[in-house]
C-alpha cells in the first residue's frame, strides 16, 4: 500500500513545548511533508499554542516487569502514557509510536490516563502468586506530571501500597511529590520508600528549553529539602547528562542537592533510541545551532560512533575515554560530598507486605 503524503505541521518551537516537530512514528503508513501553499504565512510569527488532551484509559494490568541489569528494579508502574513535561531528551518518547502517535509533539500533548490503576493494582497484589518486590514509579513517564493534579492516579497508587506496606521507589522532576508527604513519611519510617529527584542542570534558561513544563531546578532543590526534612530518604538523579551541554553541571548539581539534604545520587548518560535522535537533533539546531555538531560528536564518541547504543551495560553510562572520565568525576564528587555512603543499593523492606483483601474484610492479625 503506498504511503499517503499529508502536510506537515509548522516546525517552529512552540512556547511551553519541547519538541518542535511531530514526525511519524516508525510504524506509521503515512508521512508528512512541509509545503508552501502560497498564502504567505509569516514564518517569524509565533506558532499557535497547543492544548493538552487527555484520553481516559482503563488498564487491564498495571505492573510492568523487566529483566534489565541496568536498572535496580524489576517492577514498575506508569500511571500515564505520554508526558506533559515535554523533555526533549526523554527516552520514553518512542513508546508513543505504539499508539500510532508521534513521539514528537503528540507525546507531550496527547496523553492517556489509567484511571483505574489503583483498582487493578489492588487486584494484582492480592493474587496468591504475587511475590513482593519494590515497585518503581516514574520508570517511563513522570508520575507527577502536571495532569496528576487533577487525576490523582499516582496518589491512589501510593494509597494502595501504603495500606499493605509495600515498598516503593519514586523518580520525578516535579515538586508535586510534596503533596504526598503525608503518605510517604509514614512509609519512610518503615523503610518502605525512597525518592529520587531528577536534576541535570541549574541553568533556568537551559532547563526551560530542555524540559519546559517541569518544576524549575531551584524548585526541585527545595523539594529535596522538604522531603529530607520529613524524614523521607531522598536522592538526586543527574539525568540525563548531555555532553557539552549539561556535563559541566554534574558537580554543582551534586553539591546543591547534598546541601539540600540528598544522601544518594545517580546519573544516566543521554540515550537517543529510535525517533528520539532526530527529535533531539532538530531541537539542537533550533536552540543551539553553534553547539549542535560538537554535542553530537561527543555523544557519538561515548556511543561507539553511533547516536545510540542499546547494549546492556553500556546504554546508561556509555563507554570509551570520555565516558570513563565522566564516571570518575561523578564518583569523586559523590565521595567528597558523602553521597551514597552506605546507602546506594540499600534494599527497602519487603517483609512487612500484607496482601490486600478484595472483600473489604480486615485480617485477624
pLDDT at 365: 46
H or E stretch at 114: strand 110-114
Burial 116-130 (b: 16+ CB within 10 A, else e): bbbebbbebbeeeee
Cβ-in-10-Å burial (0-12, 13-18, 19+) of 178 comes to middle
Whether 250 maps to a domain, the answer reads yes
Query: Residue 84's closest CA among 50, 44, 118, 59?
Result: 50
Q: What is the pLDDT of residue 9?
A: 43
Asked whether the bond before 242 is cis by omega within 30 degrees of 0, the reply is no
Query: Quick one: cell of 243?
Result: 555532553
| Helix H or strand E segment including 264 | strand 264-269
In-domain check, residue 344: no
CB 240 within 8 A of CB 89: yes
Residue 332's contacts (CB-CB under 8 Å, 6 or more residues apart) are none
Single out the residue of 171, 118, 168 nearest to residue 142, CA to CA.
171
Contact between 46 and 117 under an 8 Å Cβ cutoff? The reply is no
327 vs 334: CA distance, rounded Å: 11
Q: Domain containing 9: what range?
A: 4-38+50-337
Asked if residue 14 is part of any domain, the answer here is yes
**Residue 357 resides in a domain:** no
Is the residue at 305 inside a domain? yes
Per-residue pLDDT of the chain (365 residues; tens, 9 = 90+): 333 333 334 455 677 898 888 888 887 766 666 556 666 555 555 666 789 999 999 999 999 998 888 888 999 999 999 999 999 999 999 999 999 999 999 999 999 999 999 999 999 999 999 999 999 998 899 999 999 999 999 999 999 999 999 999 999 999 999 999 999 999 999 999 999 999 999 999 999 999 999 999 999 999 999 999 999 999 999 999 999 999 999 999 999 999 999 999 999 999 999 999 999 999 999 999 999 999 999 999 999 999 999 998 888 999 999 999 999 999 999 999 999 986 544 689 999 999 998 765 545 44
Q: What is the pLDDT of residue 22?
A: 85
Number of domains in the chain: 1
Query: What CATH number should be reported for the domain holding residue 130?
Result: 3.80.30.30
The predicted pLDDT at position 20 comes to 83
Q: What is the pLDDT of residue 38?
A: 67
**345 within domain boundaries:** no
pLDDT of residue 45: 56
163 vs 356: CA distance, rounded Å:
8
Spatial distance between the Cα atoms of 215 and 142, rounded to a whole number of angstroms: 12
Is residue 364 in a domain?
no
Amino acid at each position: 500500500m503506498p504511503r499517503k503524503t499529508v502536510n506537515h505541521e509548522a516546525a517552529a518551537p512552540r512556547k511551553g513545548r519541547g519538541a518542535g516537530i511531530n514526525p511519524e512514528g516508525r510504524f506509521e503508513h503515512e508521512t508528512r511533508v512541509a509545503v508552501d501553499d502560497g498564502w504567505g504565512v509569516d514564518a517569524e510569527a509565533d506558532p499557535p499554542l497547543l492544548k493538552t488532551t487527555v484520553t481516559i484509559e482503563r488498564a487491564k494490568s498495571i505492573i510492568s516487569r523487566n529483566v534489565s541489569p541496568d536498572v535496580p528494579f524489576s517492577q514498575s508502574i506508569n500511571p500515564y502514557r505520554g508526558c506533559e513535561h515535554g523533555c526533549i531528551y526523554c527516552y520514553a518518547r518512542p513508546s508513543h509510536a505504539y499508539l500510532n502517535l508521534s513521539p514528537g509533539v503528540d507525546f507531550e500533548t496527547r496523553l492517556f490516563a489509567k484511571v483505574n490503576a489503583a483498582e487493578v493494582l489492588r487486584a494484582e497484589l492480592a493474587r496468591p502468586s504475587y511475590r513482593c518486590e519494590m515497585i518503581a514509579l516514574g520508570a517511563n513517564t513522570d508520575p507527577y506530571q502536571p495532569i496528576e493534579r487533577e487525576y490523582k492516579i499516582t496518589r491512589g497508587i501510593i494509597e494502595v501500597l501504603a495500606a499493605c506496606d509495600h515498598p516503593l521507589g519514586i523518580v520525578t522532576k516535579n515538586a508535586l511529590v510534596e503533596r504526598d508527604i503525608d503518605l510517604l513519611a509514614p512509609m519512610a519510617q518503615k523503610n518502605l520508600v525512597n525518592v529520587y529527584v531528577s536534576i541535570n542542570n541549574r541553568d533556568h534558561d537551559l532547563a526551560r528549553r530542555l524540559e519546559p513544563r517541569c518544576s524549575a531546578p531551584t524548585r526541585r532543590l527545595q523539594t529535596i529539602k522538604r522531603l529530607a526534612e520529613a524524614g523521607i530518604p531522598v536522592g538526586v538523579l543527574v539525568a540525563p547528562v548531555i555532553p557539552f551541554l549539561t556535563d559541566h553541571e554534574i558537580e554543582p548539581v551534586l553539591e546543591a542537592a547534598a546541601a539540600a539534604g540528598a544522601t544518594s545520587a545517580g546519573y544516566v548518560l543521554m540515550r537517543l533510541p529510535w525517533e528520539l535522535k532526530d527529535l533531539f537533533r532538530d531541537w539542537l539546531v533550533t536552540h543551539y545551532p553553534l553547539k549542535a555538531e560538537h554535542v553530537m560528536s561527543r555523544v557519538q564518541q561515548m556511543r561507539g560512533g553511533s547516536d545510540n547504543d542499546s547494549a546492556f551495560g553500556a546504554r546508561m553510562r556509555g563507554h570509551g575515554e570520555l565516558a570513563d572520565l565522566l564516571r570518575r568525576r561523578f564518583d569523586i564528587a559523590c565521595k567528597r560530598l558523602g553521597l551514597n555512603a552506605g546507602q546506594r543499593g540499600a534494599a527497602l523492606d519487603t517483609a512487612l507486605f500484607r496482601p490486600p483483601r478484595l472483600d473489604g474484610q480486615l485480617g485477624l492479625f
